[in-house]
A and B are shown apart, each in its own frame.
Chain A
Amino acid sequence: MDWYIILAATIKIVVFVFLVTLPLVAMSVWAERRVSAAIQDRVGPNRVGPAGLLQPVADGIKFLLKEDFTPNHVRKSFYWLAPALTMIPSLLTCAVIPFGSQLFGEKMVIADLDVGPLFVFAVASLTVYGIVLAGWASNSKYPFLGSVRSTSQMISYEISLGLSIVPLLMIYGELNLGRIVMEQAQNGWALLPLWGEGLSVKGWLLAIPLFISFIVFTTSMFAETNRLPFDLPECETELVAGYHTEYSSMKFALFFLGEYAAMIIGSGLAVTLFFGGWSLPFGWLTPESIDAEVPFWHGLIHIGVFFAKVILFIIFFIAVRWTLPRFRYDQLMKLGWVVFFELALANVILTALLLMWLK
């Protein structure tokens, strides 16, 4: 049986991480450019392939073929390590996100851990090293300023990000992402309690803290992935390009891809926690229990539903980027420490009181 488990895990890793998530990264770069163009009433890249769909391929080839220039004043080994350290943690977090129910009786998650969200936060907190190192190893002032900003921003928002999902974990009493999704599939999504046990006074009252935690979670996610309106680390009007100013060719592309991969995983986590993961609304095609047999085509539909939701969330990310202006740095830190930190804490207490009262 041992080789069977290893084989199944390998297939899931190869397909989910390398054949789905990485192309999705490339496609979201294309989507970013097209959506931004649409918002600004431009055309955007539409020359390579139908509707410009092959643009990411052209970009990739260009990144690989450009000269890989290493400036003389950098600290070499750390300069080389930094891009890898931004990319790897982002892809590692894929391991615990359930991207479907079952296929051939095999759960569609790479590692069915009982500490799912904690694992995601733990590994995501390692991304900061890539940025710190990039800024320090570049040995010049703008990258260093960018990385200092980024570090303090990511450490600050990590706290509200972690605290924001505590109410959700309290309500479901569960840290296994697969079982959280199952619960939502049967009794209403966290933000849409319209069927099952969710359709009650209790379900609707509990939707209030869940909504607050969704807002805190999403905003902190924007800050964690260094996206506009919180992209101060690479704020081009002040810092040239922030922490990756001194990087060129594929090393620069790795930073770029790491940012988008983090965005996709963030979307996946948000969908899993708040929008019922792979499940369809109103309990359609929902299996009886977590271990029940799922027909093959149901399994396929569930995978499709998950990625459809993730793509919608990515488009939301992109639309926000091109609609809101950038925050000032002190505003950003104040928002994190004074507003969101307290809001997340108060939300935990509110949830506890509600749960005690409704018991």
Chain B
Amino acid sequence: MTFLFFIFAALTLIGGIGVVVNRNPVTSAFSMIVSFLGLAALFIQLNAYLVGVLQVLVYAGAIMVLFLFIIMLLDIPKAENKRFPVFTLGASVVVVVSFVTLVITVITKSGVGTAKLPAIEAQKGPGQSDVHQIGELLFSTYWFPVQIVAVLLLVSTVGVVVLSKRELK
């Protein structure tokens, strides 16, 4: 089934390139969805069903809908071929170079192709799927980070309500 990996990897990359290359923001948003779907398929190929499905449910299904919604409502015009100021160009070169260096360092240090990870047993029977495993870990070993994330989300929700109601006073 290696050919499936290549198909979905290609899909992910084509989507990613499409986001950058397209001038129409709606087309860009759609390329991003394609990229997310390809990524979800790659996760599922690794037997990480929950992660793959959540990728579709949360990113492709919810967040990108809001992106698209706002792009359409604001009717953002196509990006024009304009000249970038020198500072922007310089900053983007720095960011790209440091990111590429980071990726190369990670890849060379991690020993790709030689390191062996312990196999994960998934899909064995009732109560042993990856959903159960992740749930058990989240609510036993990692209960504290989960609580912190929950409080953070609550704070941001309250913040949004306060910000959007400000004009009423």
Interface residues, chain A, with chain B CB atoms under 8 Å away: 78, 113-115, 118-119, 121-123, 125-126, 128-129, 132, 136, 148, 151, 155, 158, 173-176, 179
Q: Is B153 an interface residue (CB 8 A)?
A: no
Produce 1/0 per residue, B84-126, CB < 8 A to A. 0000000000000000000000000000000000000001001
- Determine the chain A residues whose CB is within 8 A of the CB of B42 once the complex forms: none
Q: Which residues of A contact B129 (CB under 8 A)?
A: 114-115, 175-176
User: CA separation between A114 and B61, bound complex, in Å?
Assistant: 20
Considering the complex, give the chain A residue whose CB is closest to the CB of B131: A175
List the B side residues contacting A174 at CB < 8 Å: 126-127
**Contact A136 B57, beta carbon cutoff 8 Å:** no
Partner of A78, one of B26, B50, B53, B73: B26
Q: Provide the residues of chain A in CB contact with B65, threshold 8 Å.
A: 125, 128-129, 132, 151, 155
**Contacts A122-B54, A174-B126, A176-B126 known; 8 new A-B pairs at CB < 8 A:** A113-B49, A114-B130, A115-B49, A115-B129, A122-B53, A129-B65, A132-B69, A155-B65
- Interchain CB contact (< 8 A) of B62 among A113, A118, A155, A175: A155
Q: Separation in Å of the A101 CB from the closest CB of chain B?
A: 17
Nearest opposing residue in chain A for B129, CB measure = A114
Residue numbers of B with Cβ under 8 A of A are 26, 33, 49-50, 53-54, 56-57, 60-62, 65-66, 68-69, 72-73, 123, 126-127, 129-131
Contact of A136 among B49, B56, B62, B72 (CB under 8 A): B72
Which chain A positions have C-beta within 8 A of B66? 155
Q: How far is the CA of A121 from the CA of B56 in the complex (A)?
A: 9
**B26 touching A118, Cβ below 8 Å:** no
- Measured CB to CB, the closest approach of chain A to B58, in angstroms, equals 9
B69 touches A122 (CB 8 A): no
Consensus secondary structure, chain A interface: helix
A121, chain B: closest CB distance, angstroms: 6
CA distance A123 to B57 in the complex (A): 7
B72 touches A132 (CB 8 A): yes
Interchain CB contact (< 8 A) of B50 among A115, A125, A151: A115
Find out whether the CB atom of B61 lies under 8 angstroms from the CB atom of A126: yes
The residue among A114, A123, A136, A151 with the most chain B CB atoms within 10 A of its own CB is: A114
A121→B130 contact, CB < 8 A: no
The residues of B that contact A129 with a CB separation of less than 8 Å are: 33, 65, 68
Partner of B60, one of A78, A119, A126, A175: A126
Residue numbers in B under 8 Å from A175 (CB-CB)? 129, 131
The closest CB in chain B to the CB of A290 belongs to B126
Q: Tell which of A78, A113, A122, A132 touches B61, judged by Cβ atoms closer than 8 Å.
A: A122
- B126: chain A residues at CB < 8 Å are 173-174, 176, 179
Task: Give the 6 A-B residue pairs with the shortest CB-CB distance, closest first.
Answer: A125-B61, A114-B129, A122-B57, A122-B56, A118-B53, A115-B49
- Contact residues in A for B53 (Cβ distance below 8 Å): 115, 118-119, 122
B130 to chain A, nearest CB (A): 7
* Complex alpha-carbon distance, A165 and B130, angstroms: 19
Closest residue of A by beta carbon distance from B33: A129
- Would you call A115 and B131 a contact (CB within 8 A)? yes
Question: Would you give the shortest CB distance from A217 to chain B, in whole angstroms?
Answer: 17
A121-B61 Cα distance, complex, nearest whole Å: 9
Q: Which residue of B lies closest to A125 (CB)?
A: B61
A130 to B65 alpha-carbon distance, docked (Å): 11
Nearest A-chain residue to B1, judged by Cβ: A2
Residues of B within 8 A of A125 (CB): 56-57, 60-62, 65
Q: Which residue of B lies closest to A152 (CB)?
A: B69
A113 to B122, CA, bound (A): 12
- Contact residues in B for A173 (Cβ distance below 8 Å): 126-127
CB-defined contacts of B68 to chain A, threshold 8 Å: 129, 132
Inter-chain CA distance A173–B127, complex, in Å, is 7
Some 23 contacts from A to B, beta carbons below 8 A apart, are A114-B49, A114-B131, A115-B49, A115-B53, A118-B50, A118-B53, A118-B54, A118-B57, A121-B57, A122-B56, A122-B60, A123-B56, A125-B61, A125-B65, A126-B61, A128-B61, A129-B65, A129-B68, A136-B26, A158-B61, A175-B131, A176-B129, A179-B126
A8 to chain B, nearest CB (A): 16
B131 to chain A: which residues have CB within 8 Å?
Answer: 114-115, 118, 175
Interfacial chain B residues near A115, Cβ < 8 Å: 49-50, 53, 129, 131
Bound-complex Cα distance A63 to B54 (A): 37
Nearest opposing residue in chain A for B127, CB measure: A173
Smallest CB-CB separation from B37: which chain A residue? A126
A129 to B68, CA, bound (A): 9
Cα of A258 to Cα of B163 in the assembled complex, Å: 39
B154 to chain A, nearest CB (A): 13
Closest residue on chain B to residue A179 by CB atoms: B126
| Bound CA span A176–B129, Å | 9
Q: How far is the CB of A194 from chain B (nearest CB, A)?
A: 24
Measured in the bound complex, the distance between the Cα atoms of B33 and A125 in whole Å is 12
